[in-house]
Amino acid sequence: MNRKLLCFATVALLLAQSAWAINPSRATQKGCAWEKLSDATLGLEAWVQRCDFGFRKIDLFVKQNTIMSRYSDGGDPYPVIEVIDLKVDETPETGIRRIFAEHTQDKTLVARCVLAPYRGDKAPKGVKRFAFVPNAAFQKELDAKASPDEVPDPPCGDWGDAPDGIQYFEAQPASGSRKVLFVRVGQDEPLFDEKTLHLLPPR
């Protein structure tokens, strides 16, 4: 690589590393404040909110490969963002299929669910979002059984598309990271900024 190309690549990498940190994409909820979470071991930078509602405090913290949400008034912390390693030479799509299969106990769902672009809000530039949805035959069966008065269970299990909330896999190929995310937004506006998550390149 000649000096000009090396300089360009270095500048592009520095811009990618710093772009996330300018501002969150939205205002905080009342009683909350944005904080920068940056963890080199986790390989992720994120804007997260710390909240004090008087009767309840909520914060997000890192545990192993996961950002957890914790309530002061009870209940176990629960995972909101998992950061998962890709294997050597594994593309994000191939890795996501493997991760889904490893975490899905009902192997019939592995055969009957397919990886598809996430159908929710448009992903930020440089980000790809995916979800596991029923294949055509499986969807036809589900449609035949569907009741308009009931919210169904996630057809592809806990790591698939959720009918009563938002969750998806996320890859950021331009970051140079060898990781992907599993993001659980839930039903309400999350206490992290899903639009500015930033996977760090390898150290």
pLDDT digits (tens, 9 = 90+) for 136-191: 999 999 999 988 888 888 999 999 999 889 999 999 999 999 999 999 999 999 99
- Which pLDDT does position 20 carry in this prediction? 52
**172: its two tokens:** 């950021």
In a domain, 137, yes or no: yes
Q: What are the C-alpha distances in Å from 30 to residues 37, 54, 76, 100?
A: 20, 12, 24, 36
- Which pLDDT does position 203 carry in this prediction? 79
Q: What amino acid is encoded at 99 in this protein?
A: I
In a domain, 138, yes or no: yes
**pLDDT at residue 197 greater than cutoff 60:** yes
Residue 28 exposure: Cα atoms within 13 Å on the Cβ side: 13
DSSP summary character for residue 41: T
Number of domains in the chain: 1
In a domain, 46, yes or no: no
Distance CA 114, CA 135 (A): 6
Q: For residue 12, how many other CB atoms are within 10 A of its CB?
A: 11
- Which pLDDT does position 176 carry in this prediction? 94
In a domain, 113, yes or no: yes
Full-model pTM: 0.88
In a domain, 135, yes or no: yes
Distance CA 165, CA 54 (A): 27
Q: What is the CA radius of gyration of the chain?
A: 19
- Looking at the chain, the whole-number percentage of residues with pLDDT higher than 70 is 90
Range of the domain at 105: 78-199
In a domain, 170, yes or no: yes
In a domain, 51, yes or no: no
Question: What is the mean predicted confidence (pLDDT) over 116-134?
Answer: 95
Q: How confident is the model at residue 7 (pLDDT cuts 50, 70, 90)?
A: very low
Task: Look over the chain and give the mean of its residue pLDDT values, rounded to a whole number.
Answer: 90
